[in-house]
Structure 1
Amino acid sequence: MAVASDPTNPREEQNGEIGVSVSDHSEPPTTSWSAFINSRLNSTTPRSRQPSPAHSPRLGPSRFSIADRSSDSRHDSSFCGLEVLEFLWNRKKQKRPKRKKLDKMWYGKKRIKGLVTLICLLGFFLLVNWVMLLRLQDHGIVRPKSRSSVNNSSVSVRQGLRKFGKGKGAQKRNYGRMLALAAHALAEGHNKAEPKDLWQEPFVPASSWKSCANQRNWEPNEGKNGYILVTANGGMNQQRVAVCNAVVLARLLNSTLVVPKFLYSSVWKDVSQFSDIYQEEHFINYLSPDIRIVKELPKELRSLDLEAIGSIVTDEDIRKEAKPSFYLKNILPIILKNGVVHLLGFGNRLAFDPIPFQLQRLRCRCNFHALQFVPKIQQTGALLLQKLRQDEGHPGGPLDHYLVGSYAQAFRKQNQNRPKKASRYLALHLRFEIDMVAHSLCEFGGGDEERRELEAYREIHFPALTLLKKTTKLPSPQELRSEGLCPLTPEEAVLMLAALGFNRKTHVFVAGSQIYGGRSRLVALTSLYPKLVTKENLLTSTELEPFMNFSSQLAALDFIACTAADAFAMTDSGSQLSSLVSGFRIYYGGGKMPTIRPNKRRLASIFTKNSTIGWRVFEQRVRKAVRQTKHVQTRPKARSVYRYPRCKECMCRTE
């Protein structure tokens, strides 16, 4: 069940050890222990699949009774066996030298005791070896057959995964068996070639589109119908969508747009305003042929009590993705009456269809051209890309120019004498912060402690969702997961990457590093992909210091690194950052920038079989599920142009 979107809504769209206890036997060991040893040695059923006893789990006569013995005399479960009994019987019948009766009895008993002791020791030795073998199997220890380098890397991965399993109550949903299989597969295939299409987009159909949202075919809007104030909420990416929608709204209502403001959020806790993130002058000038934009209201309107005169409209007053007709009917009269309207908490409140062609193109023009980061963000973003690529001679391109401006060229000139080496990297957006986890209403293996923690978070940050839970019967966490409505966990994400064929040498950049569960939740990722980095460990404290305590500005650095990556993988296709990043890669990528969009419903059905599925089958199913999402398609009706810019309003066909 998808929860209605709001500006603070982050969603837009163990192996147990089997213990053996030995009871005090009411019968002599000649019955129970022999049956135990022989039944285990002759059994072909793995221990984990053997049926449990009907009564007590203790190893006693009720479990190993005489009735269970084999009819084959060679495998009789009598402790000494029929052969021993027959041997003793024949010995008794043999002729012996005449001795005193007492000496003969003593000698016979001593021989029997010695033989029994020997067989007992042999049986105990076999039992101990059998138990040790089962314990190794239960722990899923797999050893490569050859190559010392492979063995060393596999052992190091297993050690990392063991530490992961010991963290905070055997942390969450850890897929221990599948992670061990993934570690073994990566260790064995460290020299194998990756799948050919891993770093590629279907080039021919993808390259048949080129960006053209910068083309205009209308006269400037004079903005005579008053002023529109917009206060956008949410994180940086939601604010970006709100700004683009506000630009379109200003053109629709022939009004003047005041440079948007950003609402302080208790979730994001960032006081950054528009000019702290985007180039204000570029925004105003670039869109001047489309709409009129000013930095603030005229003096005569600043003193008005907008609430008293009815000029404040909140997001609760406007339904999600309202049509243009709603604004013409309900908002324009307010502007004409009072000269100004304040859209408070404005977000995704404008529909994608139906909307006139030129207004849709204006939407794309604002997103892909008008909003450029301030020089401070561009400069640090260029440095981040340089460190990620490890290639000072990277040619860059239109996308680099849009993201970091002239700083990309400056770094290339500065380092042109250094040796060049090619390096590509995969960017992974782990949308697994606490706000996303809490809002999803899913469970992630943390038990009662996790449920209490997330419920407390919801009560503070998502009170409407808490109230909805109390008044409405919502789908269970299991139902949500089966429908693909839960974000992928870090463990699921790394299993997906390993199944797709990314090898251990892959450079991985992780965006959204404030992972719910802390560093222990990233152990699975770092164990399988040791060349994993975040902006926090790539940039020095001095380089990061200007952005500390400004989550939106830090998000801008993640945006740059993800958008410019050689391949980009998302774990939640509904998140705003993933949607915007994938759209930019389509718009500027020229068909050469693949994006991995997992079908979470399909993956959920695969992950539910994690205790039995083999690695080869897992690989095949994951690759098939992800390959289908890489198909080149035009924008589906009513879907976001920010995410799907392949449409006539944003891009043009070259064929």
Structure 2
Amino acid sequence: MYDRLVHLASVSLAKIEFKQEKSSLWKEPYLQASGWVPCADGNVVSDLGKFDKTNGYIVVSANGGLNQQRVAICNAVALASLLNATLVIPRFLYSNVWKDPSQFGDIYQEDYFMNTLKDDVHIVKELPSYLKSVDLEAIGIQITDADIAKEAKPTDYIRTVLPLLLQNGVVHFLGFGNRLGFDAIPFNLQKLRCKCNFHALKFTHKIQQVGSLLVKRIRKYEAAKSMLDKQLLGNFIDYVASKEDKVVGGPVKYLALHLRFEVDMVAYSLCDFGGGEDEKKELQAYREIHFPLLIERLKKSRTISSTELRMSGRCPLTPEEAALVLAGLGFKHRTYIYLAGSHIYGGNSRMRTFTNLYPNLVTKETLLTPSELAPFQNFSSQLAALDFIACASADVFAMTDSGSQLSSLVSGFRTYHGGGNAPTLRPNKKRLAAILSENKTIGWKTFGDRVSKMIEEGQRSRTRGFGRSIYRHPMCPECMCKSH
């Protein structure tokens, strides 16, 4: 789609390959990012006598994939505290999309989770025997996402759920997708959500061990580089460099990229990606099978052209566009790039421009041996946990879709534990579309300057705004403290 710009990028990368790289590429551009430090790990002040008597048990069956379920867990912790209830370790619903039977203990360390939060909320692994045989749906205490508004307020739960809890001793939330808002929430509940997300949820030793192999093999270095490594990998990474590491001279820097260009995202967007009639037929067939409600809605609405969609920032970035952004910023041809996510729509042919510009592209499938990957096959959430580790530990993390749950949670984790040294790149799709619309005439220097300005403005350190996710924007008094 952008042959001329790709050629200019290739020429530019060849010119700068042996020049001194801009050190600013690997640094946070704003000092304010280092002015906040983590402080949600202390005990959350609770009401006097809170644990003398519980109001009952909260059971949560969370839907979605790894990252949606992570949010549901921490929302459930806050809700249990709000209602003075005992939380049963959440269960994960099997999804026909994710096709992963993993449960909490397959992904997170249960005992660590319970111990970290033991002074804040009462948590048990299962319901007591007298409640196990109760049909929760039959007696009207199963609450679905249709019963509770998205991003509901605490008062909604106190008004509608607490009476059920007091009457029956247990309530069951089925789905629980984004069912607790971000404002107005009591300070202590927000802090508890942060403590849950940034401190209590540790991946299992199995995931940490293999995650450490990913990071070590990309860096060609055995020791931890930052607090992020220690938080994510625990005892599976050395804290002091070995003699061999010191001889090598330091770790290889790498950029992690979450390239959200899977077929579901591509089909749902309704955008044109230059694949002609074959692409249009293929994506329409996918929509008819997987998105019937979208098809019905389209029949009743005005057709919006692909150009309109792209210029309004509603089209996912292609691998080609992502590569042009990185080249425009000045990342060199030999930069090591970890690619997160599942199958890219269009496969190797769609990735060809990207790999021509950036051949040092690695994935968990290329870094790990078949025997190392085998225990994770058919467990998409556990594979996503490996991506989470590789992305959060990266020297630079780049996303192509700021609405992605993985990108959202990884960027928040890096803000919280990164010490102001964990830059994240967030292209503004609307602004980028405007720049790329001039692809037939724009000069490479102008392209690079405009892309750099767009990314830099997206990196401004901002405290959490009203209604914004505390998991994505932890820079706020409930989660972090000012260091000066």
TM-score (structure 2 length as normaliser): 0.95
SS at match of 1:591: coil
Show the counterpart of 1:550.
379
Show the counterpart of 2:133.
303
Given the alignment of the two structures, is residue 636 of structure 1 paired with residue 465 of structure 2, yes or no? yes
Q: Who wins on radius of gyration, i.e. which is larger?
A: 1
Given the alignment of the two structures, is residue 269 of structure 1 paired with residue 96 of structure 2, yes or no? no
Given the alignment of the two structures, is residue 650 of structure 1 paired with residue 479 of structure 2, yes or no? yes
Pick the aligned partner of 2:90 from 235, 260, 263.
260
Show the counterpart of 1:627.
456
- Counterparts of residues 383-462 of structure 1 (less than 5 Å): 383-392=213-222, 394-409=223-238, 419-462=248-291
Q: Tell me whether 313-322 or 252-261 shows the greater mean CA deviation.
A: 313-322
Inter-partner Cα distance in structure 2 for 1:374 and 1:444: 39
Letter in 2 for 1:378: Q
Given the alignment of the two structures, is residue 206 of structure 1 paired with residue 23 of structure 2, yes or no? no
CA RMSD of aligned residues (A): 1.9
Taking structure 1 as reference, are residues 281 and 302 closer, same or farther at Cα in structure 2, changes over 3 Å only?
Answer: same
Pick the aligned partner of 2:167 from 333, 337, 342.
337
Inter-partner Cα distance in structure 1 for 2:270 and 2:132: 43
Pick the aligned partner of 1:566 from 395, 399, 402.
395
Taking structure 1 as reference, are residues 543 and 365 closer, same or farther at Cα in structure 2, changes over 3 Å only?
Answer: same
Letter in 2 for 1:199: W
**1:230 CA displacement:** 0.9
**1:413 CA displacement:** 5.9
Letter in 2 for 1:580: L
Inter-partner Cα distance in structure 1 for 2:441 and 2:246: 54
CA deviations on 1:544-602 (whole Å, 9 max, x unpaired) are 11111111111111110110111111101110111111111111111111111111110
Aligned residues of 1:430 and 1:513 also touching (Cα < 8 A): no
Q: Tell me whether 191-200 or 465-474 shows the greater mean CA deviation.
A: 465-474
- Counterparts of residues 361-380 of structure 1 (less than 5 Å): 361-380=191-210
Pick the aligned partner of 1:488 from 317, 321, 332.
317
Inter-partner Cα distance in structure 2 for 1:569 and 1:358: 32
Aligned residues of 2:36 and 2:481 also touching (Cα < 8 A): yes
SS at match of 1:285: helix
Matched residues, percent identical?
58
Aligned residues of 2:44 and 2:192 also touching (Cα < 8 A): no
Q: Tell me whether 371-380 or 307-316 shows the greater mean CA deviation.
A: 307-316
Show the counterpart of 2:363.
534
**1:531 CA displacement:** 1.2
Taking structure 1 as reference, are residues 509 and 304 closer, same or farther at Cα in structure 2, changes over 3 Å only?
Answer: same
Given the alignment of the two structures, is residue 280 of structure 1 paired with residue 107 of structure 2, yes or no? no
Pick the aligned partner of 1:598 from 400, 424, 427.
427
Inter-partner Cα distance in structure 2 for 1:589 and 1:200: 11
SS at match of 1:228: strand
Inter-partner Cα distance in structure 1 for 2:144 and 2:243: 50
Taking structure 1 as reference, are residues 299 and 461 closer, same or farther at Cα in structure 2, changes over 3 Å only?
Answer: farther
Taking structure 1 as reference, are residues 472 and 332 closer, same or farther at Cα in structure 2, changes over 3 Å only?
Answer: farther
Show the counterpart of 1:610.
439
Taking structure 1 as reference, are residues 471 and 338 closer, same or farther at Cα in structure 2, changes over 3 Å only?
Answer: farther
SS at match of 1:368: helix
Inter-partner Cα distance in structure 2 for 1:333 and 1:478: 52
Show the counterpart of 1:502.
331
Show the counterpart of 2:3.
176
Gaps of 5+ in 2: none
**1:477 CA displacement:** 3.3
CA deviations on 1:217-262 (whole Å, 9 max, x unpaired) are 4237436111111111111111101111111111111111111111
Aligned residues of 1:513 and 1:534 also touching (Cα < 8 A): no
Taking structure 1 as reference, are residues 340 and 570 closer, same or farther at Cα in structure 2, changes over 3 Å only?
Answer: same
CA deviations on 1:268-320 (whole Å, 9 max, x unpaired) are 11111111100011111111111111111122222222222111221122222
Show the counterpart of 1:144.
none
TM-score (structure 1 length as normaliser): 0.71
Q: Which has the higher contact order (CA 8 A, sep 6+)?
A: 2
